[in-house]
Chain A
């Protein structure tokens, strides 16, 4: 047993490429996926700009509101990244460094003060988000909703305490101060009832006991006014803070379109990579490579033929797939002219990648295995939105995914299918660079074929 084990280790040591692919690559991918799944930022990173003048006291219904406590509570739920200007916040959101930016306006306190008054006005906080794809857009909306709900809950508790005190006065009576006046005594509904019952029992009709009746009239008047205020109060309690959301980057395509783009790109990837890698490896497996390249065709011409094969097949398969999906989902056929270059560029990227794999593998089965082993994890990593994992990890994932055609092909297809998608030109340029790079790698790899 140990000798067999030693033999296998010796073979692996003498096949460095195989060893790297079999051991190092899965480890790198597994680490990236593992961290992406388990080590996302514990708290979402949110740029925080506080434009409220310092030392602004906040009192709701005579109760002091703990602003510092609210801020620290907020920063326990999110990772507050302090910024000094809206421009800086916008830059951090655009770059994907933070999931979004929260901007507290200068008039926040003034408007919060009004919530317990007779003319409440909800303050509006500004939120900047980067919705570069629908998955991220949904994620950002969820996070914002959660934060907003927490903030609103805290404020509504304060307001509701004030409302409760008003209702207590109305019910039981007591001193009431309004708009800074000296205040007056409110009889309260219960005492009014007692008085009314007493008057009814004791006084004959046409009694001149006007004082008690005046008290009842004053209370009735005040009660009607307070009930009018209660409606506005209840409204402000339901959502004290309003949100003005601005999408800084990414005019998000619909989730349907994005799902179609993902499905089409995955199909494009597997069909093209497997076909080209297998087809090139087959030339070697059939011993035809040397015969072909001896004088009939050059190695570069053979590689170009394989890439062309992949592009043609990928174009046909992807168009058929989109036509089939078009029966169930509303596709923008007016953008058909953009579909073609996106599919061609994506197909060429995957085909060149497949040629490099086919050149490195000695047989069709090995080529197919390699294609699966490399493509699938990269596709998974490419779908991780920025801001959902730690910035350093996201940068590492970005470097890895930029080296493979899936990410630019997905961007090209999304941009081609929906006007709200990313810019198709940049994605196509990215794919062209990858075609050249993988073409060169494939050309180096097939030198070993002879």
Chain B
């Protein structure tokens, strides 16, 4: 029967009821924790929420929903009236009731099938204990005034369809209109601007005759429809709150029903079978214009506390908007941006000819940008919508686990894209459950450890660097790296060799490894075979990261870093042949440019696969063109045309017999004749693995708006979406994970090879390290040779002797606008002075360890000539005439050469003051 009713109204009712329930939960928690001290306002809020749910349920004839909410309402009424204290067992009944209501709302048409007998029985037991019989409480109704509204069925229906509330508003002609300085017209115009007046009446009996009329204050009663909530409606109508009352749709309907019932008096046995649907119901009203509508005891459900709620809600007025509407708006905004770009391009040349055009363009530009941002923001939702469900979960868990847990929430107002908020529910729930189940100790354990018996779970969301951080912190037992490692070893997640090289931090992060679960037993609460790996996978799917910080005995913090929105992501635009692709920046680790001359050294083949050597690591490498099956182009030197590159692709070659050295050398030659021998490589991240992608060209990083892919294209796996560039061009967004799968990359194969090479390099490097140095060779006095290690030199400068100034007995030269003290070697070492006749001298400016290259150097060492810069392999010998700043001596290029330690030399010269520290 409800299926005949207007689906969209029911959908609205369900959505609204869900909101009611989500607000009920925190209030119930407050009731429980504060007990009798809880403010009346909180109880009233719960009461009203349940009440309006009941009203809607009654209206749409959802019997189960109605019965249960009615019982809950009755219990709440007792609590409100102080006849019942909110003890935990009573709260349990209310909480489970809320759960049942939610279950009913989940499939509203089947809501009668949700079992609720137990919950109802519990509630009724409470009620009968207080002498309340459910059957009676519904009937307490206020008798309405003598005359009531003429209900125009269609306008009521249309108002309801548009999500409006119906109000009965009393406006006193004197007090509310004249005394407010309004004319009746102004009052009505104002009312019409915030809603619709469906009907009005003045009680004839109340009107005094001409003789006395001016002394009275007549009330006009309006049937007013508005999307505004009651408190706001009153505010908007400029009427006192108590004069604006919600007309319960249920009450309206019951009246209609009653009429219908009277019409066919015979069938009264089955009240459920009454015509429930709204389409039929208003009909009798139309036939009988004066419907006796008795609003449900308004005093009961709209208490004064409403005013308090008005303050709360008034600050955050909202409208319900369909998501597809916003999506469409977002598309249009994107198009507008495009149009703006074209406009700007088209008219830029006329800027000088048309006065003021520049300013207009700038304005259009600004407004467009702001509009786009604004529309983006409409999709944002506060993280609180997720956070706020946790106190309830924790409350249930703490009762089950006999633990005392407090949930603290910070930053609930931080906003994220709706889709991200929705996708965070599961990972966060898992983390929170873990906290309560595993991390926090029992009160006894906590006392023993000298902690407060109540454990704290702290949820904190905040902005940082254009991202959202969510930290879930507990003050529990922390994660013991040793235990984790033992488990990981037992499960074969790591080898002993790997374990030996792992830091504690790395070990702790093993909890994110697939198949890891530290719970000794699978508990009812968190261990359901899904572990933290699911958390990580989910968060990474959103383009985020998870991290863990823990200290044994002190607690654990799980940190999530997430993008603000999935809809707009900064991406690198790359080109292959004439194709363009976007790579989300979160996937990009770095960009490597391999010069043509280095290609042979840095790119090689390991087991038939292309590999890049990058800082002692071997990185699997793919050509984007090959993975995607795009024909590579090269510039034909002979014709100057782009022509297809016929070389076999890597993908083609894979799986073939190992190539002969001959083939390899042919290809090597091939590559050198490639039109673009320099390689642009983008290093991408997939989970913990990295790989390189060779592309032809790199363009800018752009903020792109992600558009979902058609189902037709999702099968390609290489793309995560598409986007429209500023020039209107559609391009695909590459999916780093999909791409590596498509390229059949095997990350593990490389690791063994990498380790082998690393060890080999370590050995040879260790051998050389002791002797090999890069030095700068110079002369001070003629024939006396010095060397200074290159990594001790910041710069070499040529100066004119005439520029040297003497202050006291110190020499200075102006260097970058400041006086730089000069050091002569002969003043500190037993060497000959520089030739007096030299007009041109050189300065060695030493590099001070720990100082960056832009800092002011402490001094310069005067020399006469720079001879060479070279690598030498020498064993330094001690010098007989050791002095400060000498490392030793060695024979270089057949000359005895003194090796300087410039920093010590300057120290000896007293020139390494405070800034050298």
A in complex with B: no
Question: Interface of B with A (CB < 8 Å)?
Answer: none
